[in-house]
Every structure is written in structure tokens, then in C-alpha cells.
Amino acid sequence: MTELIYMTDSYKQELMARVVSCVQKGNWWEIVLDKTIFYPQGGGQPSDKGTIKGKHGTATVKHVRMQDDEVVHECSIEGTIEIGKFVECTIDWNTRYQNMRVHSAGHVVHEAVRLVAPYLDPIKGEHGKTAYIQYQGSLPIDKKTRIEQQANDLINQNLHLKTEFVTLDELKARASYIPEHLPKHKPLRILSIGEYPPIPDGGTQVKTTNEIGEITIPSIDNTVDQVRVYYTVASETENKDATADQSIAAPQFIGLLLDAEREAKELVAESDKSAEELRIMLLGPKSELGRLTKQIRQVPAADRANVGVVVNQVKQSIEQAICNNPFTHSPIHPSSDSWIDVTLPGNRPPEGHLHIVSQAIMEITRIFERIGFTRVRHPEVDWDWYAFESLNMPPESPARDEWETFFIQYPGKPKERHSGGRRPIESRGDPIAPPNAGLQDDRKTGQMVLTPHTSNGQVREMEKGKLPIRMINIAKCYRRQSDVSHVPMLHQFEGLYIDKNVSIGDLKGVIDYFFKQYYGPERKSRLRPFHFQFTEPSFEVDINCGVCLGRGCKFCKEGWVELAGAGMVHPTVIKNGGLDPQVYNGFAFGWGIERVAMMKSGTQLDDIRLLYSNDVRFLEQF
Ligand code: PHE
């Protein structure tokens, strides 16, 4: 039984522990210690990452799980980790602290929901990259603002989060909610926020609510009889920056203005207040728009005029919404004695242009064409085999967790699929299997995915049987994530070069060539050793941040932004593509188009989601 140190001290970042067992499983290792500070995935909180260092080796902990009453650390190991010896454990504190803040925020949101809708019964919570609390029952979506306000009220009261261990009877007597399956072997722990009734909890928690910072409720999602209240917290740096007097980039400021406009219009539509009251509330100095107007000084001087135009447009559009609302009786009516000046020049119809992502796709395609890479297309809905298994990630591989994948259960086996009748909807995006990938092949049946990366094109391209391969596969990818630097639908471009005697030097050469062509000679890049199942060795490619030019801002990590991965194609993958790894080798890289485009200097965008907000006033700038 592992002693769970994180239960009593969630701020402990380092620990000496003794190795109880260390077993190889496939191509990773599983370590059990006598005690641990690593949080195993559970209760909606993602697991910790970090390192376990012994005298003769270091284990990199990638995932941690609870198995019976033991904490199993899933790792890769350099050197050896000896059983019975002491090791030094260190957790990746940034990840843990963010997880803790998100988890604690979940409890605050739950208290806020209980204040607004005490009739809802909690079912579960998810406190990872996507965070929500799920309840039995339903909740009108217009409660969103109330819940957000209540949650931030609790945050601003700077309440203490206290954990204590209790007996089952005590827990039943005190807790506001008793989950159905209480863990049998774990100590029963309860968490209370300020004076609110305690809740059973096994996660790691911050000490005071001000460590969480502002909470946002982006949506409330009702299904038949359940409802999810989604929430987000600012990243820790954003939280710290919130009070600092910072400069704001124009696109970000415009994004805030558009948010204010949308919220104001929603309020007008739901409100039965008079026009005058609405005007004070939504356009007055204390309104969100009023507050933003004051902050316009923080926008770089060169952009202020443009931003000013948007401020006026937003004001007019809110004013219009107030006038048009049938419930508000506006004293303002267009004057009836208006006249038309027929000598005025006409209005030019607006001209459109390609979306920034389409522009980037064209430019990237052209850059690679010049060194002999051809753009190809591969399915965006594909078999698990191409997206994972053929890439050295069998179904049980923990490495798959990195790609937050949408799986599709394919109805029926392929043979039945073509036996007449209407084809199921999912099969309309059916990847057309290449000629040599016979549908009888069992590996290409079973689950399908919305491809989470373009690497599914690697084996598919090899199966075409034409060598050497110099492809650039550009496609949409899907992952279950949304925050300042992630969107659920993104674009990637995947380079693959397969020939005889390809070297890492060739890979570095191609990457350098691309950066020079796309960003200009002054931007810096670096290759960081990394791990992917389908490349060996693997790298992550970073570029110095285009928002702060390397100084450090809320978008980047200390001045560097990760553009995704690269490496030498793993022999197993080459074999799965039907080629002989003794004869052929090569490299691959896969990068996100949105990120690559955002990092271009001049594109000072620090929230990737703005790209898909579909507001012309934003898009016109690029
Ligand atoms: N497919 C990887 C990702 O999405 C990137 C990658 C591509 C890494 C090719 C190595 C080689 O993160």
C-alpha cells in the first residue's frame, strides 16, 4: 500500500522514497514506491508528471494511476532504477499547480451552483484541460452569469480550503453530498471551503481561493436529464498579470470588445428593464464597455485609432439592440425630417480575403514545393490503426493520452458495410482504403477516430509504394481541448521524407529552411529532445515567441512556443508501411498551422480561439 503524501501536503514538490517494484511493460516501465507525492489520475484530476531519480538512472514519469491501493508510476527509464533503493521524486510543479487550481475552482463552482440551483444533484466533475461539473437535472443557460458572479464572489472573499480525515459516519453526518462508491481502502477525506458544508474529496487543493483567480463559466450544456456546467480558470501567469498594468495587443483588445458586445446583447434580449436603465448598465462608465474604453490607453499608440473605430461600432450596435428590443421603450427615434444628399459618393462594397489559416496553408505548401515536397491529402476520419496502432501505439499504450481523441464507434464490420442498404452517416467520410490495404484486413476495422494528428498519413503514404517519399500532408485535426492556445478543430501539416540513408542533419536542414523561408532569418528555433512512440530519436521544435519576442508573456513558456514534434521515423512504422526498415529510413514532422501562423511576427494574437470567432472586424486585420 503506497502512502499518499499528496493527500496531506499538496504543496510538496520533492520527496525521498523507496522503490517497492519496477517492472517493464512493453516499452514503458511501472514503478511502485513506498510513498509518493505523484497524484494518480482520478476524481476528474489528471495525473502528475515528473521524475524519479536513483543512483544509476532516471525515470521520467508520464502518467500515474491507482491500482488497488498502490500508486503505479508509468515511466520511461534512462539507466536503471533499483528495487529497495532510495530515489528522489520531483513533480512537474507547473502542471500540478495548474491542476490543483482547476480542481479547487471546481469546488468553488459547485458551491456557486448550489447557491443558484440547490435542487441539482452532483454526479461527477472533470478538472483537466476541459473542466466541468455534471449534475442530474437541468439548468436554464441564462443562469451562467449568476453562477459566474457567485463563483467570483467566493474567490474574492479569499476563503480557506481545509481538508481533514474523518470516519465514514462522520462523513455522512457532515458532508453535503455522499458519492455512491466511496473508495474502500483510501482514508476518507473531506474538503470545506470557508464555512460551507464539506464535500468528500481525494484531490490536491490550493490553500486559499485567491490562488485560483478569476473563474469563467463559458457554457452550460443540458442533455436529456443531466447538465454540465463548464468552467475555466486563467493560467497562473494570467492570474498574476491580472493586476499588473500591462499593455494589451490590439487583436486581444478587439476580442474583449466583441465579448462585451455579445454579452450586452444577450442581456438586452433577456431583460425587461427600460431603455434608459439598460443604457446606464451597458454603456455607462461602470459598464464593461466603459471599463474597456478607459483601458484603450494600454493599446499600442499605432493601433489606437483602429481600436477606437471598433469601440464606436460596438457602442452603436448595443444602442441599436436597446432600441430594437420590444420591451424597452426608447425615447430615441430616427428623426423623420432626415434628408438624402444625392451628391455624396456611393459606398464601396466590402472586399473579402482569404482566412489567415488558408493563407498560411498556401504559403507553407509553396515553401515545401520548392524543395520537392508534394502536398497530399489523407483522410480526416480514419481507422484507429492509421492514427495510433500503426504508429507504435497499441490500444493500451498510455502515450495515446496525449492526443485527446474523439473516437467513433463504427457500426458493423466492413464486410457488412457494403452489403447493400443505406450507408451509415459516419461512413460518408469513410477513408477510401488504398488498394493494398484490403478491407478484409482486421487491423483496419473496429474503431475510427476524428484524426487527432496528421501522422495517420505516414503509413498511408508508404502504402502507396512510391519511393522516395517527400510528402506534405495538410489536414484538419480534432482534439477535445479549448483554451488560449488550443482549439478543438485545428490544422496540421505533416512532412514525411523516406529514402535510403536519411539523417538527422537532413531533418534539421529542412526545419531551418522552413523557418528561414516562413519567418525570415531573424527568428530563432531550437530542437528539444522529446518522446514520440513513432519516431526515434524524437524532438520538439520551439520558436521564440512572436507575441513578446522572447521576453515571456501569457501565451508562451518563458519566451519559447512549442510548435510540435519531429523525429526519425521509427523502424516499426516503416515496417507497418510495408517497407524494409533495413533499407529505408526517414524523418517526419507535424506542426499546427494555427500556431505557426500566429507566431509570424506582426500577428500579435494571444488567444488562438479568436481565429475561429468568425467576426469580420477581427479577420479583416490579416
Ligand atoms: N503527430 C505529432 C503531434 O501531433 C507530431 C509529430 C509528427 C511528431 C511527426 C513526430 C513526427 O504532436
Q: Tell me the CATH number at 219.
A: 3.30.980.10
Q: Spell out the residues 6+ positions from residue 530 whose beta carbon is closer than 8 angstroms to its own.
A: 538, 539, 540, 565, 567
Torsion over CA: 444, 447, 449, 452 (sign): negative
The Cβ of residue 250 has, within 10 Å, a number of other Cβ atoms equal to 19
Per-residue pLDDT at 331 exceeds 70: no
400 residue type, one letter: R
Q: Is 573 in the pocket of ligand 1 (CB under 6 A)?
A: no
Lowest model confidence (mean pLDDT) among 10-19, 147-156, 435-444: 435-444
Domain boundary among 216, 241, 266: 241
- CATH number at 558 reads 3.30.930.10
- Ligand 1 center–CA 96 separation, angstroms: 25
448 residue type, one letter: M
The answer to the question of residue 435 being in a domain is: no
Q: Is 588 in the pocket of ligand 1 (CB under 6 A)?
A: yes
Mutate which of 380, 502, 534 for ligand 1? The one with the most ligand atoms within 8 Å of its CB, which is 534
The answer to the question of residue 345 being in a domain is: no
Residues in the chain: 622
Per-residue pLDDT at 453 exceeds 90: yes
Choose between 220 and 180: higher pLDDT: 220
The segment with the largest mean pLDDT, out of 125-134, 182-191, 290-299, is 125-134
- Ligand 1 center–CA 321 separation, angstroms: 47
- Ligand 1 center–CA 378 separation, angstroms: 15
d(CA 314, CA 293): 11
pLDDT number for residue 447: 83
The answer to the question of residue 61 being in a domain is: yes
Mean pLDDT of the 422-435 span: 37
Q: Is 453 in the pocket of ligand 1 (CB under 6 A)?
A: yes
- Ligand 1 center–CA 535 separation, angstroms: 9
pLDDT number for residue 187: 66
Choose between 415 and 414: higher pLDDT: 414
Lowest model confidence (mean pLDDT) among 338-342, 408-412, 440-444: 440-444
The answer to the question of residue 458 being in a domain is: yes
Cα 615 to its chain centre, rounded Å, is 22
d(CA 495, CA 371): 12
- Ligand 1 center–CA 565 separation, angstroms: 5
Model confidence at 195, pLDDT cuts 50, 70, 90, reads confident
Residues 451, 410 within the same domain: yes
Residues 363, 452 within the same domain: yes
The answer to the question of residue 558 being in a domain is: yes
Residues 226, 252 within the same domain: no
d(CA 431, CA 434): 9
Lowest model confidence (mean pLDDT) among 24-38, 117-131, 297-311, 470-484: 297-311
- Ligand 1 center–CA 328 separation, angstroms: 55
Per-residue pLDDT at 422 exceeds 50: no
Model confidence at 249, pLDDT cuts 50, 70, 90, reads confident
pLDDT number for residue 609: 86
Of 284, 269, 345, 344, nearest to 315 (Cα)?
284
- CATH number at 8 reads 2.40.30.130
Q: Is 388 in the pocket of ligand 1 (CB under 6 A)?
A: no
Choose between 299 and 574: higher pLDDT: 574
d(CA 218, CA 144): 8
- Ligand 1 center–CA 384 separation, angstroms: 16
Q: What range does the domain containing 225 cover?
A: 97-241
d(CA 620, CA 617): 6
Per-residue pLDDT at 437 exceeds 70: no
Per-residue pLDDT at 59 exceeds 60: yes
pLDDT number for residue 183: 65
Model confidence at 41, pLDDT cuts 50, 70, 90, reads very high
- Angle among Cα 158, 247, 516 to the nearest 5 degrees reads 120
The segment with the largest mean pLDDT, out of 151-165, 242-256, 259-273, 363-377, is 363-377
Lowest model confidence (mean pLDDT) among 75-84, 113-122, 345-354: 345-354
DSSP-derived letter for residue 147 is: H
Nearest-atom index, ligand 1, CA of 402: 12
d(CA 235, CA 275): 38
The answer to the question of residue 580 being in a domain is: yes
pLDDT number for residue 613: 84
Mean pLDDT of the 432-454 span: 64
Per-residue pLDDT at 337 exceeds 70: no
pTM: 0.46
- Angle among Cα 362, 404, 571 to the nearest 5 degrees reads 75
Per-residue pLDDT at 574 exceeds 80: yes
Q: pLDDT tens, 511-524?
A: 989 988 998 877 77
Nearest-atom index, ligand 1, CA of 492: 4
Residues 151, 203 within the same domain: yes
Q: Is 567 in the pocket of ligand 1 (CB under 6 A)?
A: yes
Of 239, 189, 192, nearest to 213 (Cα)?
239
Residues 263, 235 within the same domain: no
Residues 292, 420 within the same domain: no
d(CA 424, CA 426): 6
Residues 400, 318 within the same domain: no
Nearest-atom index, ligand 1, CA of 565: 8
Domain boundary among 50, 67, 91: 91
Domains of the chain: total:
4
Q: Is 532 in the pocket of ligand 1 (CB under 6 A)?
A: yes
Q: Is 565 in the pocket of ligand 1 (CB under 6 A)?
A: yes
Q: Is 232 in the pocket of ligand 1 (CB under 6 A)?
A: no
Residues 538, 406 within the same domain: yes
DSSP SS3 for 148: helix
Of 21, 87, 22, 15, nearest to 55 (Cα)?
87
Domain boundary among 91, 110, 135: 91
The Cβ of residue 308 has, within 10 Å, a number of other Cβ atoms equal to 13
C-alpha to C-alpha distances, 340 to 68, 320, 343, 349, nearest whole angstrom: 81, 21, 9, 19
Which residue, judged by its Cα, is nearest atom 7 of ligand 1?
Answer: 590
Residues 374, 489 within the same domain: yes
C-alpha to C-alpha distances, 369 to 358, 360, 362, 365, 610, nearest whole angstrom: 16, 14, 10, 6, 30
pLDDT number for residue 421: 32
Q: Where are the beta strands (DSSP E) in 479-619?
A: 489-499, 525-532, 535-544, 560-569, 585-592
- Ligand 1 center–CA 549 separation, angstroms: 25
pLDDT number for residue 419: 33
The answer to the question of residue 341 being in a domain is: no
The answer to the question of residue 68 being in a domain is: yes
pLDDT number for residue 327: 63
Mean pLDDT of the 80-105 span: 93
Lowest model confidence (mean pLDDT) among 47-51, 319-323, 395-399, 409-413: 409-413
Model confidence at 443, pLDDT cuts 50, 70, 90, reads low
d(CA 472, CA 593): 12
Residues 400, 257 within the same domain: no
d(CA 163, CA 204): 10
pLDDT number for residue 131: 93
Helix (H) or strand (E) holding 513: helix 504-519
Q: Is 455 in the pocket of ligand 1 (CB under 6 A)?
A: yes
d(CA 590, CA 575): 20
Helix (H) or strand (E) holding 94: helix 93-116
Nearest-atom index, ligand 1, CA of 590: 7
Residues 526, 447 within the same domain: yes
Of 226, 201, 219, 204, nearest to 122 (Cα)?
226
Residues 129, 202 within the same domain: yes
What is the DSSP code string of 4-68?
EHHHH-TT--EEEEEEEEEEEETTEEEEEESEE-PPPSBTTBPPP-EEEE-SSEEEEEEEEEEET
Mean pLDDT of the 230-239 span: 82
Model confidence at 423, pLDDT cuts 50, 70, 90, reads very low
pLDDT number for residue 567: 97
